[in-house]
Amino acid sequence: MIDILYLFILATLALAISPGPDNIYVLTQSLSYGARSGIAVTAGLISGCIVHTTLLAFGVSAVITASAVLHTIIKILGACYLIYLAWSVYRTNPKLSIKGDSSAKTYRQLFRQGVIMNLVNPKVLIFFLAFFPGFLWNESGNTVLQFYILGITFMVVSFIVFSTIALLAGRISNYLSQNLQAAVFLKWMQIVVFLAIALFILLP
């Protein structure tokens, strides 16, 4: 068990560090609004993983991924939500979106945004279904408990990596937020990231 968990941690660490939609999203939010905002987003993204773990542990993930209709509906809803977020950023004034301004999103809003982004991304569901079963150490034992152990381990490792990204990016967010040109760049970077993740979700 310990050896398998160790390998799982190493694999999760490599995945969390590798550039992907989630850590790029955390990076852009941290650059735009500061480390605390990035950590709030991270907490939301990671919290969504407990839902995916539960769906996996009780076999619901397999049912959803096996249904082309359900899978397509989730993909469309996820893409629409991300396009809505891109539109919301587009409508903001970059000068009024810098860290510390009252127009910036609250930590609760950012947390909720992270949770929703995680839940409406069917590729997270597919990833859990493909990745986790290979690390079960006793397939004839209590697989529900094993999936939850793997899920919590995945959440802890990912939270540490994403929070580190947020803290590092937050160190230069003060400078960027005081520079109008940088604020405009960050605004469009967020829009591009949201649209890119929407496209990522829609692609087969």
**Using CA atoms in the order 166, 171, 175, 180, what is the torsion angle rounded to 10 degrees?**
0
Closest CA to 42 of 123, 99, 105, 110: 110
Local structure of residue 105 (DSSP, 8 states): P
Which tens digits make up the pLDDT trace of 95-128? Answer: 545 444 434 678 999 999 999 999 988 888 888 9
Residue with tokens 């929407």: 198
Do the Cβ atoms of 138 and 33 come closer than 8 Å? Answer: no
Q: Give me 67's structure tokens.
A: 């249904």
Which pLDDT value is given to residue 102?
39
Q: Is 177 exposed, middle or buried (0-12, 13-18, 19+ CB in 10 A)?
A: buried
Give the count of alpha carbons within 13 A of 144, CB side only: 5
Local structure of residue 94 (DSSP, 8 states): G
Which pLDDT value is given to residue 103?
46
Which pLDDT value is given to residue 9?
94
Which pLDDT value is given to residue 99?
46
Dist. CA 107–CA 95, nearest whole Å: 20
Which tens digits make up the pLDDT trace of 30-71? Answer: 888 889 999 999 999 999 999 999 999 998 888 877 888 887
Which tens digits make up the pLDDT trace of 149-197? Answer: 999 999 999 999 999 999 988 887 766 666 667 677 777 888 888 898 8
Which pLDDT value is given to residue 8?
93
Which pLDDT value is given to residue 141?
81
Helical axes 68-91 vs 107-119, angle rounded to 10°: 150
Name the pLDDT band for 200 (thresholds 50, 70, 90).
confident
